[in-house]
């Protein structure tokens, strides 16, 4: 009996993690793919005239088993992988892409959807049904449903190859991250905060080594770059971190990037678009590459000016240390930390005891309760890793779903932070509530000690909780538009908006308590934290916008034969400050090359930030950051609606208008730059 294929009888319909073995996945996928294909073929061959029920709703049901198996597998592939899962992922990626392409290019299936779209006005559809039909029709057209003959076959081959390349790209980055360590002798630990020293010891123990090691986990590298006075070690660590995916050999991603860019361009041209960016952006809020570039450049100019001014200040600090060379990328964070301490009396080591993981998580839960009436109750259910924990989420007496938190870095987890689901919300055929997971990579404290977060870590936790709330508060009929199934440049609005509450005195006073003594954060320290929120925004904005512009340039016009040379040309044209590098260099730019999600779309975080700055202002204008009327409007207009309406319409329904970039520049403190 394969547990992946049986009814799941665990509490809340949770996956039976305790029964699932790696060997169950291959036969489960074989069975689920066969079932999905049969179901879809039956829809296509239905002799009855097409209706919304026998076509769209039938398709909503057709792949449920495949969706269930895929959700478990791909969550494990990201959060707790092994060699067997990675091998199966390489095998499955082209098969799943082929299945999707075959579905989108089945003439009889598209004919039914096309016929429905042509007479939508006489079908008596609800607004949500009309939106779902629109999205299905657009999805099929953009996937090549109108192609025929050799062009159709070529597009199928391109999609299969892109799926294989995206899988290889992500696995190569993980392999580089797993392979590299920097042993730290006792003298090398000088200047490092105690929690970083403990994390380096834990990293060594996890790898079967003695003493302390630095790994390429962001939760270790960034604090090391901020605190180590050893410039030589900072350089070694930074160069290894920046070189992921570009070290030569079997795990080098540069050839993969070149092939992916060429295939994406070919895909777009087959579908009638001049380049991939034009194809990809058409259904997003931005619509065109020109609109994206206008926003990014409006932010780039003041951000670069601020960064250049900051670099001059940091060089002065470096000179005071007796270093006369140029400020380098491995110097910036170290001297920025010194400047932060001097200008704002801001001491990260003094702040972190007030930001325990448990405390910040409870703060995120409390904000969700105060804004949306949600409660989080721990539940004891089998999960996929001992570090993961689960909570039942309720709104009053109503069960809203299950939330899973998986917060600690480990070798079996890819880097970064993300929100995903083991099950999405829907009401077709009965109410189904979501199972949502937040995955982070915080450095785990030794046993018996609290895990302490940086302020950036705390922002990350709130960010991913914002995504989770978007899924948990979803209240639509069709899973196709539930939760975070929205335009890519809208999906970051709920997550980035939620970060704002972390920095409010109301939240810090209640939850920023010393991990050892329980004492509240001193008001004077809290004021310094809030005052320093825009410190080093020139750096943060430049490293982000540079990545977004490189992504946009890669996909606008002909694909570059040499992506690394093209990357450098973009940075040179922008006048990239020499001591700042892209947040994600091309060979490890997983947002763009581990799959198709953020390709031509890394700008989305900034597009959403224009809205999140304006949206939080709505709470400020109401006179209370927990104003119930504003929170209720946010749920009704955005969080519960998913993709059931156009993103711009949702935002205007909430705020009454669309904002301009001025709110973003003010939020980042770049107005006078």
- Return the structure tokens found at 556: 């606008």
Q: How confident is the model over 562-572, as a mean pLDDT?
A: 98
Question: What is residue 318's predicted lDDT score, i.e. its pLDDT?
Answer: 97
Contact 331, 581 (CB under 8 A): no
Judged by average pLDDT, the poorest of 77-86, 92-101, 162-171, 524-533 is 524-533
State how far the alpha carbon of 570 is from the alpha carbons of 333, 344, 554, in Å. Answer: 24, 35, 9
Question: What is residue 663's predicted lDDT score, i.e. its pLDDT?
Answer: 83
Question: What is residue 416's predicted lDDT score, i.e. its pLDDT?
Answer: 92
Residue 673: is its pLDDT beyond 60?
no
Question: What is residue 76's predicted lDDT score, i.e. its pLDDT?
Answer: 97
Domain 244-333+538-601 annotated CATH 1.10.1370.10 = yes
The string of DSSP codes covering 311-348 is HHHHHHHHHHTT--S---HHHHHHHHHHHHHHHH---H
Question: What is residue 348's predicted lDDT score, i.e. its pLDDT?
Answer: 80
Question: What is residue 657's predicted lDDT score, i.e. its pLDDT?
Answer: 95
What span, in angstroms and rounded, lies between the C-alpha atoms of 387 and 383?
A: 9
Question: Residues of the chain with pLDDT > 70: what percent?
Answer: 100
Question: What is residue 671's predicted lDDT score, i.e. its pLDDT?
Answer: 82
What span, in angstroms and rounded, lies between the C-alpha atoms of 209 and 553?
A: 43
352-531: same fold as 244-333+538-601?
yes
Q: Catalytic residues, which ones? A: 464
State how far the alpha carbon of 426 is from the alpha carbons of 133, 249, 453, 469, 471, in Å. Answer: 16, 46, 35, 15, 11
Residue 23: is its pLDDT beyond 80?
yes
Average pLDDT along the chain: 96
Q: How confident is the model over 257-271, as a mean pLDDT?
A: 98
Residue 616: is its pLDDT beyond 60?
yes
Q: How confident is the model over 113-126, as a mean pLDDT?
A: 97
Question: Quick one: DSSP state of residue 603?
Answer: T
Q: Which residues contact 637 (CB under 8 A, 6 or more apart)?
A: 650, 651, 653, 654
Question: What is residue 108's predicted lDDT score, i.e. its pLDDT?
Answer: 97
Q: How confident is the model over 421-445, as a mean pLDDT?
A: 97
Question: What is residue 549's predicted lDDT score, i.e. its pLDDT?
Answer: 98
Question: What is residue 112's predicted lDDT score, i.e. its pLDDT?
Answer: 98
3-state SS, residue 448: coil
**What are the sequence ranges of the domains in the chain?**
180-243, 244-333+538-601, 352-531
Question: What is residue 347's predicted lDDT score, i.e. its pLDDT?
Answer: 80
Is residue 422 packed enough to be buried (19+ CB in 10 Å), middle (13-18) or exposed (0-12)? buried
Residue 321: is its pLDDT beyond 90?
yes
State how far the alpha carbon of 559 is from the alpha carbons of 259, 331, 359, 554, 585, in Å. Answer: 9, 34, 47, 6, 17
pLDDT in tens, 353-412: 999 999 999 999 999 999 999 999 999 999 999 999 999 999 999 999 999 999 999 989
Question: What is residue 131's predicted lDDT score, i.e. its pLDDT?
Answer: 98
Judged by average pLDDT, the poorest of 98-107, 139-148, 659-668 is 659-668
pLDDT in tens, 174-233: 999 999 999 999 999 999 999 899 999 999 998 999 999 999 999 899 999 999 999 999
What span, in angstroms and rounded, lies between the C-alpha atoms of 420 and 435?
A: 9
Q: For the stretch 352-364, what's the b/e string if a residue is b when 16 or more beta carbons lie within 10 angstroms of its beta carbon?
A: bbbbbbebbbebb
Level-2 CATH architecture, domain 352-531: Orthogonal Bundle (1.10)
Phi, psi of 439 (to 5 degrees): -120, 125
3-state secondary structure 144-171: CCCCCHHHHHHHHHHHHHHHHHHHHHHH
Question: What is residue 580's predicted lDDT score, i.e. its pLDDT?
Answer: 98
Q: How confident is the model over 523-548, as a mean pLDDT?
A: 93
3-state SS, residue 199: helix
Side by side, the strands of the sheet bearing 418-423 are 374-379, 389-395, 398-408, 435-442, 418-423
Is residue 506 packed enough to be buried (19+ CB in 10 Å), middle (13-18) or exposed (0-12)? middle
Question: Quick one: DSSP state of residue 197?
Answer: H
Question: Residues of the chain with pLDDT > 90: what percent?
Answer: 93
State the pLDDT confidence band at 345, using cuts at 50, 70 and 90.
confident
Sign (positive/negative) of CA torsion 366, 368, 372, 377? negative
State the pLDDT confidence band at 531, using cuts at 50, 70 and 90.
confident
Question: What is residue 662's predicted lDDT score, i.e. its pLDDT?
Answer: 85
Question: What is residue 67's predicted lDDT score, i.e. its pLDDT?
Answer: 97
State the pLDDT confidence band at 350, using cuts at 50, 70 and 90.
confident
């Amino acid at each position: 009996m394969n547990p992946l294929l049986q009814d799941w009888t665990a509490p809340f319909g949770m996956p039976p993690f305790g029964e699932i073995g790696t060997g169950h996945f291959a036969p489960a996928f074989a069975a689920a793919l066969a079932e999905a294909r049969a179901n879809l073929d039956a829809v296509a061959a239905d002799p009855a005239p097409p209706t919304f029920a026998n076509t769209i709703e039938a398709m909503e049901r057709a792949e449920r088993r495949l969706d269930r198996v895929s959700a478990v597998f791909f969550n494990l592939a990201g959060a707790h992988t092994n060699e067997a899962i990675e091998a199966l992922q390489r095998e499955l990626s082209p098969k799943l892409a082929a299945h999707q392409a075959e579905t989108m290019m089945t003439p009889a299936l598209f004919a039914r959807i096309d016929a429905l779209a042509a007479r939508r006005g006489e079908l008596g559809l609800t607004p949500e049904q009309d939106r779902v039909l629109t999205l299905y029709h657009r999805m099929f057209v953009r996937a090549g449903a109108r192609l025929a003959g050799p062009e159709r076959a070529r597009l199928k081959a391109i999609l299969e190859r892109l799926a294989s390349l995206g899988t290889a790209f992500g696995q190569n980055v993980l392999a580089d991250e797993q392979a590299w360590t920097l042993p730290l002798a006792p003298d090398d630990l000088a200047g490092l905060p105690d929690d970083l020293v403990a994390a380096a010891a834990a990293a060594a123990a996890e790898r079967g080594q003695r003493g302390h090691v630095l790994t390429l986990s962001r939760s270790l590298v960034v604090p090391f770059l901020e605190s180590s006075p050893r410039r030589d070690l900072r350089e070694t660590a930074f160069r290894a971190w920046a070189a992921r995916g570009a070290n030569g050999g079997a795990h080098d991603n540069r050839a993969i990037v070149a092939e992916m860019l060429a295939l994406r361009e070919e895909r777009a041209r087959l579908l009638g678009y001049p380049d991939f960016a034009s194809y990809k952006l058409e259904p997003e809020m931005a619509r065109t590459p020109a609109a994206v570039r206008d926003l990014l450049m409006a932010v780039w100019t003041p951000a670069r000016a601020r960064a250049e001014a900051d670099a001059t200040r940091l060089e002065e600090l470096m000179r005071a240390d007796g270093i006369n060379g140029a400020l380098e990328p491995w110097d910036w964070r170290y001297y920025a930390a010194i400047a932060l301490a001097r200008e704002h009396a801001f001491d990260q080591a003094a702040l972190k005891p007030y930001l325990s993981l448990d405390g910040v998580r409870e703060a995120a839960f409390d904000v969700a309760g105060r804004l949306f009436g949600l409660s989080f109750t721990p539940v004891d259910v089998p999960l996929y890793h001992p570090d993961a924990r689960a909570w039942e989420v309720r709104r009053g007496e109503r069960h809203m779903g299950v939330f899973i938190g998986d917060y600690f870095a480990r070798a079996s987890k890819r880097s970064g932070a993300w929100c995903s689901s083991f099950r999405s919300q829907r009401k077709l055929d009965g109410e189904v509530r979501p199972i949502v997971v937040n995955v982070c990579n915080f450095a785990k404290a030794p046993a018996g000690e609290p895990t302490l977060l940086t302020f950036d870590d705390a922002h990350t936790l709130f960010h991913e909780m914002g995504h989770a709330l978007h899924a948990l508060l979803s209240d639509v009929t069709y899973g196709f538009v539930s939760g975070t199934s929205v335009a890519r440049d809208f999906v970051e609005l709920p997550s980035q908006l939620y970060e704002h509450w972390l920095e409010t005195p109301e939240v810090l006073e209640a939850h920023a308590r010393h991990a050892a003594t329980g004492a509240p954060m001193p008001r004077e320290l809290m004021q310094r934290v809030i005052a320093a929120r825009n410190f080093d925004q020139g750096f943060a904005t430049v490293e982000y916008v540079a990545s977004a512009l490189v992504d946009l340039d890669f996909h606008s016009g002909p694909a570059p034969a040499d992506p690394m040379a093209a990357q450098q040309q973009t940075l040179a044209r922008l006048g990239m400050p020499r001591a700042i590098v892209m947040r994600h260099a091309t060979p490890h730019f997983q947002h763009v090359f581990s799959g198709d999600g953020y390709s031509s779309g890394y700008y989305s975080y900034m597009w959403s930030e224009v809205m999140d700055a304006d949206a939080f202002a709505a709470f400020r204008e109401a006179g209370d950051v927990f104003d119930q009327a504003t929170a209720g409007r946010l749920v009704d207009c955005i969080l519960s609606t998913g993709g059931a309406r156009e993103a711009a319409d949702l935002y205007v329904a909430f705020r009454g208008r669309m904002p301009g970039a001025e709110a973003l520049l003010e939020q980042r403190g770049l107005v006078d730059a």
